[in-house]
Amino acid sequence: MKSYTYNYSFFTYLLVALLCFNLSMAQESDVTNYKMRFAFKTVKKADNTRLLEVKFIGQHKKDRKDLVPIFEAEINFYNILNDEEILLGTSKTSEEGIAQLILPENQKYLFDEDGAINLTARFNGSETIDEQEESLTIKDIQITLDLKEIDSVKTVFAKVFTIDSLGNENPVDEAEMIFFVQGMLSKLKIQEGEISDGEFEFEFPTDIPGDADGDVTIIASIEDSDEFGNAVQQQTIKWGSHVIEPVTKVKNTLWSEAAPLWMYIVLTFLLVGVWANYVYTITNLFKIKKEGKKIQT
């Protein structure tokens, strides 16, 4: 009887413990314990298309390292001017919580009186997550690269301007620009500075290695600008340095492909001696056989 009572009490405690654990886990995973991070950015790409990107993440209020991507959330992207809204497109977030929309080069925008574009990303909310919205006001920026070799000096010329609602080009001034060379795994920064009157110029380094054909890809970038957002442009040219390693004559050693000369001489004598012994032995065998026949006769 005591055994049955003990088993019953044990399973009761175990059931209560599991129930408490599940309730605790449910409270921890409750959406109210998370603060929503709704980050919106835009990038003017090298082909003059524009990328709109939202990163939708839930961050735990206590454990800030606990980040949960919001999956399959429908994000609407708008171009807004006063009371007029144009839906540019819709995209759902991926398993990483990222939604992207690429606008074509010939996309028509609504410009305000300052020649700026208002872009808005909006999540309309769900049963568990509130509505989220973020806006960016940027100018439509263009970057062109001109790579020239002047008096044997490799020079990079960058022209940076904005385009207003009438299609006019306005030079950009006092904006930070960074130049990189694309590597196999990452980008190498080679120059940075401030744009002056829509132009930037610098001498390309002579010690940048290229690929097998001597090609290097030069990238011009404006990053996280309040006025222009992000913009990149790139161009490939045969400006890579070729490093030719001097050919050194390797001496014959025990650890090289070619053995020392004395080893060849010794090996030759040994092989000659072995084969001479074979010939001597076979010759004597024939003589013994011949002498044996004479004795029998």
Other beta carbons within 10 Å of 127: 5
pLDDT score at 248: 62
Alpha-carbon distance of 47 to 108, in angstroms, equals 16
Q: Give the pLDDT confidence score for residue 286 in this predicted structure.
A: 84
| Strand 67-69 relative to strand 50-60, pairing | antiparallel
Spans of the chain, pLDDT less than 70: 1-29, 242-257, 297
* Amino acid 194: pLDDT: 94
CATH of domain 141-237: 2.60.40.1940
Q: Distance between CA 151 and CA 186 in Å, rounded?
A: 31
Is the separation of the CB atoms in 78 and 86 below 8 Å? Answer: yes
Topology of domain 26-139 in CATH is: Immunoglobulin-like (2.60.40)
- In tens, the pLDDT along 116-173 reads 999 999 999 998 899 999 999 999 999 999 999 998 899 999 999 998 878 788 999 9
Domains 26-139 and 141-237 share a fold: yes
Rounded Cα distance between 109 and 214, Å, is 41
- Kindly compute the dihedral angle of the four CA atoms of residues 89, 92, 96, 101, in this order, to the nearest 10 degrees: -10
Other beta carbons within 10 Å of 161: 18
Of 97, 90, 93, 24, residue with least CA distance to 58: 97
State the Cα–Cα distance between residues 149 and 151, nearest whole angstrom. Answer: 7
| Domain range list for the chain | 26-139, 141-237
Angle, vertex CA 166, rays to CA 160 and CA 171, nearest 5? 20
Confidence (pLDDT) at 249:
63
